Amino acid sequence: MNIILIGARGAGKSKVSRSLSKQTEIPVVSTDSIAVYEAGGIPIPEFVEKNGWKAFRELEYSILQKLQKANGIILDCGGGILFDLDEMGNEIKSEKKLQTLRNIGRIVYLERGIDELVEKVKGDKTRPDLSKITSYKTILEKRIPVYQEAAHFKLNLSKLSKEEAAEKILDWIGIK
C-alpha cells in the first residue's frame, strides 16, 4: 500500500512524510524531487521560467504514470499535483491525475487555514510564482475544494506536530 500526501504549499507534506517514514521505515518519494531529476537537475522555478507551467504539469503527470507500479511508498506530492491548465492558462482540476493518484494509493489531504498557508510561503524563493496576476490566497480558495474532494482522509495540521499527524495517518490506515 502507498500513502499519498496532498495539500497546498506550506501545508507540511514534506515534514509529515519524513515523520511517517521515520515511524514506519517506508521510503518517501517526492514528485518535486523526481521532477528536478527528470528535468536534468534544473530547479523547478527555473524549469517553469524556461518551459512554463503547462510543461511542468505534463511532467508531473508522466511521473505519476511511472509511479503506478510502486508499492510501499509515501508519496509527497507538489501542491499543484491535482491541476492542469486550460487553453487560457487557468488552473483546472485534472481528472487524469486524480485517477492516477487513486490508482497509486490512499490520498491524505493535509490542510491548514488559508492565512496560515499564505504566511508560511511568503518570500520563499525556492518556490516559483504560481501566477503573476492572481494572489496565492485566491489560488488556494480555488484549490482547496479539489483537495477535499480528492482525499480519502483529511487531517488539519494547524494544532498538530508532524509526529502527531503521522500517528493519526497511521491509525487511519491501520499500520500501527
Binding-site entries for ATP:
10-15, 127
How far apart CA 153 and CA 134 sit, in angstroms, is 29
Contact 86, 53 (CB under 8 A): no
pLDDT band for position 114 (50/70/90)? confident
| CATH topology assigned to domain 3-173 | Rossmann fold (3.40.50)
The pLDDT value recorded for residue 127 is 47
Residue 136's pLDDT is: 73
In the annotated binding site, the residues are 10-15, 32, 57, 79, 127, 143
Question: Residues forming the annotated binding site for Mg(2+)?
Answer: 14
Give pLDDT, residue 4: 97
At 140, which helix (H) or strand (E)? Answer: helix 136-150
Q: Return the domain boundaries, the chain.
A: 3-173
Non-local CB neighbours of 128 within 8 Å, separated by 6+ positions:
44, 45, 48, 49
Phi, psi of 152 (to 5 degrees): -85, -25
Has residue 81 got a pLDDT over 60?
yes
- Least confident range from 53-57, 81-85, 128-132: namely 128-132
Q: Which pLDDT score is estimated for 56?
A: 95
Beta pairing class for 91-93 and 83-85: antiparallel
Residue ranges at the known binding site for substrate: 32, 57, 79, 143
d(CA 67, CA 38): 14
* Count of other CB atoms within 10 angstroms of residue 141: 11
Q: How many other CB atoms are there within 10 angstroms of residue 100's CB atom?
A: 18
**Dihedral pair phi/psi, residue 119, rounded to 5°:** -65, -40
pLDDT band at 118 (very low <50, low <70, confident <90, very high): confident
Report helix, strand and coil shares of the chain as percent, to nearest 5. 50, 15, 35
Question: Average model confidence (pLDDT) for the chain?
Answer: 90
Q: Which of 79-93, 95-109, 110-124, 134-148 has the highest mean pLDDT?
A: 95-109
